Amino acid sequence: MTAPVRRVPDVVYGEVPGYRPLELDLYLPREDRPVPVIVLVHGGGWRRGSRRHPLPVLGADFYDRLAAQGFAVAAIDYRLSGEARFPAPLDDVRTAIGWVGEHAAGYGLDTGRVFLWGDSAGGHLALLAALTGATAHGVVAWFPVTDLARLPSDVADAGGVPDPGPGSREALLLGAPASSVPGLAREASPVSHASAAAPPVLLMHGAADDLVPPAQSIRLAEALHAAGATAELELVPGATHMWNGASDTDGIVRRSVEFLRTVTPQAGAR
């Protein structure tokens, strides 16, 4: 049985002088006990997207449906690459996680069950935050970028059209092509931060994705396993980027929710 959902929109979770206020929308199940919380990080190549727009294949009520299953959802905006370069969006994700911890009591959130969930660029930022010390007890990352330097070659190997130039999404994030700033590209790549201290990670990736190829998730899963961390990897047959071509998107969501319940079994007790 699902619980009704309460929405709290336009919450300012951070302010950086010279920039727009950083906002999130909260989706809260009506529970009489603290609930686990998902910090939801949208995709869009670091240069577009909004907390108000889930993936089109999931429907506009996606966050409500997650909350109805007993998870609070904090859908966040962050500074895009046209506003500020890396590490600005990572700093914003960390700030949002900090806001959750500071305001948990007022919204009935369980600080012992804070999860990150993101797709594409949002998956990259969620992973990077979790792997560099932010408080997260589990991560769901859908078709994330994990290795900026090798993204063009992965795209070429997958039959896509690579863009290693200054106008690429990753160059706009970093301020220069990854090949020109290798140290910064490493710092901005989740694969560089794999360690035994990583929280449990679920990577789900379209097997036919040639925009962010599955090699990116495979490489991170291998690095996490080598470091002794817990990582699960699922390649979705026929799916390209944004789950286009996937035969069962509801199943992908169920798998992701079940993963979070598995890493904290008490979250599933209803």
Closest CA to 229 of 202, 204, 200: 200
pLDDT in tens, 215-240: 999 999 999 999 999 999 999 999 99
178: domain CATH number is: 3.40.50.1820
Residue 121: pLDDT above 90? yes
Domain count across the chain? 1
Q: State the residue range of the domain holding 69.
A: 5-268
Residue 270's pLDDT is what? 29
3-state secondary structure of 265: helix
Q: Which 8-state DSSP code applies to residue 19?
A: S
Can you tell me the distance from the alpha carbon of 257 to that of 173, in angstroms, rounded to the nearest whole number?
Answer: 30
d(CA 52, CA 59): 11
Closest CA to 253 of 266, 243, 245: 243
DSSP-derived 3-state class of residue 20? coil
Q: What is the pLDDT of residues 82-94, one digit of tens each?
A: 999 999 999 999 9
- The CA distance from 68 to 158, in Å, is 38
* The predicted structure's pLDDT at residue 4: 78
pLDDT at 267: 39
* Distance of alpha carbon 96 from alpha carbon 2, whole angstroms: 27
**249 confidence band (pLDDT: 50, 70, 90):** very high
Q: What is the pLDDT of residues 137-174, one digit of tens each?
A: 999 999 999 999 999 999 999 999 999 999 999 999 99
pTM of the predicted protein model: 0.96
Mean pLDDT score across all residues of the chain:
95
